[in-house]
Chain A
Amino acid sequence: DTGVSQNPRHKITKRGQNVTFRCDPISEHNRLYWYRQTLGQGPEFLTYFQNEAQLEKSRLLSDRFSAERPKGSFSTLEIQRTEQGDSAMYLCASRDGQGQYEQYFGPGTRLTVT
């Protein structure tokens, strides 16, 4: 069990550019979540996958955001036409489909839009 991994760890981009983040969940976990966290706040839910199906999206997820989880393994989160307000830590979490509900988080990707 190597834990949840995320790449890159840091991304600096200019306003208007597109960025893509990757998340590799714990290998036996079929449920995957994306959250966004800004300074001084707790994580806010963005979207949820069960296997390859995207089952829920937050109102925070504007049409510039898209997430995929092909084949129910790793997931990508893409932000198109980035804005300064997108600067945040993007966190990925996973959990298994059994009785325990705790989610295990990755180290996050810190996005800075200049």
Chain B
Amino acid sequence: EDQVTQSPEALRLQEGESSSLNCSYTVSGLRGLFWYRQDPGKGPEFLFTLYSAGEEKEKERLKATLTKKESFLHITAPKPEDSATYLCAVQAGNDYKLSFGAGTTVTVRA
């Protein structure tokens, strides 16, 4: 069965203090690894899809990278509006569904 583990569970940052979130995964034949952002009381908002080891994607202050066993979401010079829960999910090659980790809740203080 697919497994996704995210660390840390929570991260408190000062505005401008860069950091990284980790997503470790075990999946039978990775079709894609996905990063979402979720604000309290709302549905997940799609950020990135990574398909193969070595791939990188960037959007504003966020950069996602992928290896054969884990993915990192780097937040560069975060702002308070980057405060959210960041979810990682995988899709196996022979599967329809996404399997999610429990998320990392990021709080950025001004």
Contacts and interface: CB of A to CB of B under 8 A. Distances in A.
Interface in B69-110: 87, 89, 91, 96-103
A56 interface: yes
Contact of A101 (B43, B44, B49): B49
A43 B101 CA distance: 8
B59 interface: no
B34 interface: yes
B62 to A, nearest CB: 15
Contacts of A105: 36, 43-46
What's the dominant secondary structure at chain B's contact region? strand
A89 B46 CA distance: 18
Interface string A51-84: 0000110100000000000000000000000000
Interface residues of A, number: 27
A96 B62 CA distance: 25
A53 B31 CA distance: 22
Contacts of A93: 43
Most chain B beta-carbon neighbours within 10 Å: one of A6, A35, A110: A35
A101 B103 contact: no
A48 B97 CA distance: 8
Contact of B31 (A56, A101, A108): A101
